[in-house]
Amino acid sequence: MPLHAASAAGHLDVCRFLVDNGAEINTGNIDGWTPLHEASFHGHIEICRLLLEQNARPRLVDNMGRSPLYLAAEGGHIGVFGLLS
């Protein structure tokens, strides 16, 4: 899942390329994490912004019931938390 990996690693240009070329934004991995979960967990606000602009669904929850907003709060990523609120 390249978009998940790029979102987790903070590679904004790669994320933009993948999204522009049809990568699925709201698909969850084995744990139910979407690319927005990955970016939120790691505090990558610009990637979160990109994904939201492309209609990422911020209310999707993972297999444990955690949303991207929850992960941002848990990690202390105030900017991401504010963006998702």
pTM of the prediction?
A: 0.97
Q: How far is CA 3 from the centre of its chain?
A: 9
Q: Which domain holds residue 80?
A: 2-84
- CA-based diameter of the chain, in Å? 32
- Domain of 17, CATH number, reads 1.25.40.20
The string of pLDDT tens digits covering residues 24-83 is: 999 999 999 999 999 999 999 999 999 999 999 999 999 999 999 999 999 999 999 999
Residue 20's pLDDT band (cuts 50, 70, 90): very high
Query: What pLDDT is attached to residue 77?
Result: 98
Q: Alpha helix locations (H) across the chain? A: 2-9, 12-20, 35-42, 45-53, 68-75, 78-84
Task: Name the domain count of the chain.
Answer: 1
Query: What pLDDT is attached to residue 47?
Result: 99
